[in-house]
Amino acid sequence: MKAIISDIHSNLEALQAVLADIEKQNITEIYCLGDIIGYGPNPRECIDLAMKCNLVILGNHDQGAVFDPDGFNPPAERAIFWTRAQLETSGEDHSKREKRWEFLAERPRTFAEDGYLFVHGSARNPLNEYVFPEDIYNQRKMDRIFALIDKYCFQGHTHVPGVFMESLQDDTYIFQSPEEIDSVHKLDEHKTMINVGSVGQPRDSNWRACYVVLDGNQVKFRRVEYDIDKTVQKIHDIPDLDNFLGDRLRDGR
């Protein structure tokens, strides 16, 4: 059994709650699909925990902190520069700082294993492309992305969990949210993209941390409560993190 997490965004309380939930199950491996940092108040702590995962893919916010941020809105960019400063000027021992930088800089953009592909954004543009639920109506986009997938692709980036599949009747596509499928999907002969949702900043109007458990061919979406008041307060207390970044957590948007 495998847990697949994504988009932690420096939310330590959410990550700790998810790791505790994972620990209660028979899970042997944890894969993380990127965006460990950005937006939230605990980048160093979240990187240290993510380093224990069996696989960690590079996310666009991770890349923005290590290299040059490009294409971010002003609050996101300010958060990235604040994050970078945390990683650079931490008062802890030098070796730990170096290890975090090296770890982020060495992250792969994709990982493939037994017909399963793992990316942050999409199979076509692993780092930056969003695949939103409404993209099922963009036939060309979906055709091109699905053509790059062998069987199944796990991704994050939009913070909106759910399952994208080729239709059983024709060559159109369907999207199903976790609510529509009672949080469980069985992988079958159809090519499928699974968005595992976001641990630290869900945007599907549900504030609880989201991740996925893969057990054989069964994908199960899990929601986990965490101490959101603590995270929001920390964000409000840091001038470089826009208050909105805390407030949005409550609404899951």
166 near Fe ion, judged by CB under 5 A: no
**What number of other Cβ atoms are within 10 A of residue 48's Cβ?**
16
Instruction: Point out which residues pair with 195 in neighbouring strands.
Output: 155, 162
242 scored as a contact of Fe ion (CB under 5 A): no
Q: Which helix (H) or strand (E) holds 200?
A: none
Q: For the stretch 81-120, what's the b/e string if a residue is b when 16 or more beta carbons lie within 10 angstroms of its beta carbon?
A: ebbbebbeeeeeeeeebeebbebbeebebebeeeebbbbb
Candidate residues 3, 4, 5, 7; the one interacting with Fe ion per rule CB under 5 A: 7
User: Cβ closer to Fe ion: 35 or 242?
Assistant: 35
Question: Residue 204, interface with Fe ion (CB under 5 A)?
Answer: no
SS3 126: coil
Q: Which is nearer to Fe ion, 7 or 13 (CB)?
A: 7
Cβ nearer to Fe ion, comparing 156 with 178: 156
Question: With binding defined as CB under 5 A, does residue 135 bind Fe ion?
Answer: no
Q: Is 62 in the site for Fe ion (CB under 5 A)?
A: no
Q: Which is nearer to Fe ion, 137 or 244 (CB)?
A: 244
Q: Which of residues 8-37 bind Fe ion (CB under 5 A)?
A: 35
Q: What six digits make up the tokens of 152?
A: 């199944």
Residues of this chain that interact with Fe ion (CB under 5 A) are 7, 35
